[in-house]
Chains A and B, each alone.
Chain A
Amino acid sequence: MTKGKIVGLEGSFAVAEAVRMANTDVISAYPITPQTHIVERLSEMVADGDLDADFICVESEHSAMSACVGASAAGARVFTCSAGQGLELMHEVLYIPSSMRLPVVAVAANRALSAPLSVWCDHSDVMALRDISWVQMFAENNQQAFDLTTCAFRIAEDKDVLFPTMVHIDGFYLSHVIEDMVLPEEEEVAGFIPDYKHPFVLDPDKPVSMGCYGPPFIYSETKKAQDVAFDNTRPRIQEIWDEFGELFGRQYLPVESYKMEGARVALVTMGSCSETAMLAVDELRAAGVDVGLIRLRLWRPFPFKELREAVKDLDLLVVLDRAISFGMGGPVCSELKSALYNKREDLKIVGFIGGLGGRDIQISEFKYMVTQAQEKVKAIERGKEVETVIIGVREGGGR
């Protein structure tokens, strides 16, 4: 197993280290809070000669992703990062590398969407990207931010994947927090991410046409091919995580559990608040409540099989959403219901919304969700409608 060295690093710098050790060829990004420290650090590395990459300064996120598409089509190893409104401005172009099977790697420092203007963390930006057909995964701490960014290059460039890959790190909670973590040896990372060759690159000696237009007679076939190829990435993602685990001693899974032995109830979280939820589970367990925690590590492609396995002995899932799908409810909760529909009729799923726009979620609030969810189940069984609660929201109305 790898030695590495223990360092104290901000989450953004951990990501930048991963990008440097991956020997990235091209970086194109536009700064936006809370992603800024990642690009600042990378531009320093390039300027100081610590990373032999082309850093393309652009005028917007739309251009950043466009430059990434071009560089990736030329066969380069490519990285970008953004957050919140920046991801929204990039949105149109995000569909291009996935349809064209270009292995761009990106990190999103998750941020709320305007209005009102908020630079703080939630998952509204992530939820707007659900259908872009990028492999997407969540980190919970800075070690994972480093590890998953490293894995993202291997996953994206794997010949059985060849889809762009995005690592979600919660803005500020990870991007601006210094934690201790193990930084592996550069040679070991280099050995884990070998040079890659895309089957089709822009090459004047072997010309191909990329990004052609698809009339109605062929468009359905292209989308079917894309959907099947994206679905088929699941086993390779797991194999690459297994290989990483063997080399570096940290194992990642599409769905990860915490204290699920004998649990009848489980919280479901994604991202940095999972660690707070673990503390809540510890306290509830100590008080005799049979509760565990399920964390969705892989968000796309959705880990149906692993989720169904994780919930097989449960009576109740308590899902936290850090975003609202207006007029619909919590997006993660909706997706879990859809993933489990017709599979577990007896399983109750209760959703809560919380942590919007950087509002902290306390241990006590996770505990409240678990007890409240049990109350709600009773109400549901009495045939009552239950509305989705926003944790900690003030009612007011006294004026």
Chain B
Amino acid sequence: MGGEGLGWKDLEIGFVVTEPGNASSYKTGDWRSERPIRDNERCIKCGLCYIYCPEACIHEDEEGHFEADLYYCKGCGICAHECPRNVIGMVEEKEE
């Protein structure tokens, strides 16, 4: 996201942000310590993971399967918890 390099003289009065909706550039994926992986073979395409994801970062692909956008996925594990088929597992992030 923007702003890391800004000095105090660069800020607008009252710290107003003049670019609306810029929260979408905030990389909440940085917070993740575990990432969801899924076994699409057993997925019944019910979409519950999509509905429950608090980050709204799960998208449906052309085949009707669901995938998390790792730029935003915080690794909370709610999708894994809610999946009725237990096809989502959480695996630890490793240093790259």
Could you tell me which A residues sit within 8 Å of B by CB distance?
A: 99-102, 162, 199-200, 207-210, 212, 214, 217-218, 220-222, 224-225, 228-229
> Which chain A positions have C-beta within 8 A of B22?
209
**A229, B7: Cα distance in complex, Å:** 14
| Residue in B closest to A159 when the chains form the complex, CB atoms | B13
Distance in angstroms from A217 CB to nearest chain B CB is: 5
Assuming the contacts A221-B8, A224-B8, asked whether A99 and B16 have C-beta atoms less than 8 A apart, the reply is no
Distance in angstroms from B12 CB to nearest chain A CB is: 7
Residue B11 CB within 8 A of the other chain: yes
Which single member of A210, A218, A229 contacts B16 (CB below 8 Å)? A210
**A220, B12: Cα distance in complex, Å:** 14
Q: In the bound complex, do residue B11 and residue A221 qualify as a contact, i.e. CB atoms below 8 Å apart? A: yes
> Which chain B positions have C-beta within 8 A of A217?
3-4
> Which chain B positions have C-beta within 8 A of A208?
16-18, 20
**A362, B84: Cα distance in complex, Å:** 79
**Count of A-B contacts judged by CB separation below 8 Å:** 53
> Which chain A positions have C-beta within 8 A of B17?
208-210, 212
Distance in angstroms from A233 CB to nearest chain B CB is: 13
Assuming the contacts A200-B13, A208-B18, asked whether A225 and B4 have C-beta atoms less than 8 A apart, the reply is no
> Which chain B positions have C-beta within 8 A of A162?
13-14
**A209, B15: Cα distance in complex, Å:** 9
Q: In the bound complex, do residue B14 and residue A218 qualify as a contact, i.e. CB atoms below 8 Å apart? A: no
From 40 to 74 in chain B, residues with beta carbon under 8 angstroms from any chain A beta carbon are: none
> Which chain B positions have C-beta within 8 A of A200?
12-14, 16, 18
Q: In the bound complex, do residue B9 and residue A225 qualify as a contact, i.e. CB atoms below 8 Å apart? A: yes
List 29 contacting pairs A-B, 8 Å CB cutoff, sorted by A: A99-B14, A99-B15, A100-B14, A100-B15, A101-B14, A102-B14, A162-B13, A162-B14, A200-B18, A207-B20, A208-B16, A208-B17, A209-B16, A209-B20, A210-B16, A214-B15, A218-B3, A218-B4, A221-B6, A221-B7, A221-B8, A221-B11, A222-B11, A222-B15, A225-B8, A225-B9, A225-B11, A228-B8, A229-B13
| Residue in B closest to A218 when the chains form the complex, CB atoms | B3
**A162, B16: Cα distance in complex, Å:** 14
| Residue in A closest to B15 when the chains form the complex, CB atoms | A222
Shortest beta-carbon contacts, A-B, top 3 = A101-B14, A209-B17, A224-B8
Apart from A101-B13, A200-B18, A221-B11, list 5 A-B contacts with CB within 8 A: A100-B15, A212-B15, A212-B17, A217-B3, A221-B10
| Residue in A closest to B13 when the chains form the complex, CB atoms | A101
> Which chain A positions have C-beta within 8 A of B4?
217-218
Distance in angstroms from B7 CB to nearest chain A CB is: 6
Assuming the contacts A222-B8, A224-B8, A228-B8, asked whether A210 and B14 have C-beta atoms less than 8 A apart, the reply is yes
Q: Chain B 3-41, CB within 8 Å of chain A: the 1/0 string?
A: 110111111111111111010000000000000000000
Which single member of A209, A210, A218 contacts B6 (CB below 8 Å)? A218
Which single member of A199, A209, A220 contacts B13 (CB below 8 Å)? A199
**A344, B53: Cα distance in complex, Å:** 64
Distance in angstroms from A74 CB to nearest chain B CB is: 14
**A199, B20: Cα distance in complex, Å:** 16
**A220, B7: Cα distance in complex, Å:** 9
**A101, B16: Cα distance in complex, Å:** 10
> Which chain B positions have C-beta within 8 A of A225?
8-9, 11, 15
> Which chain A positions have C-beta within 8 A of B18?
200, 208
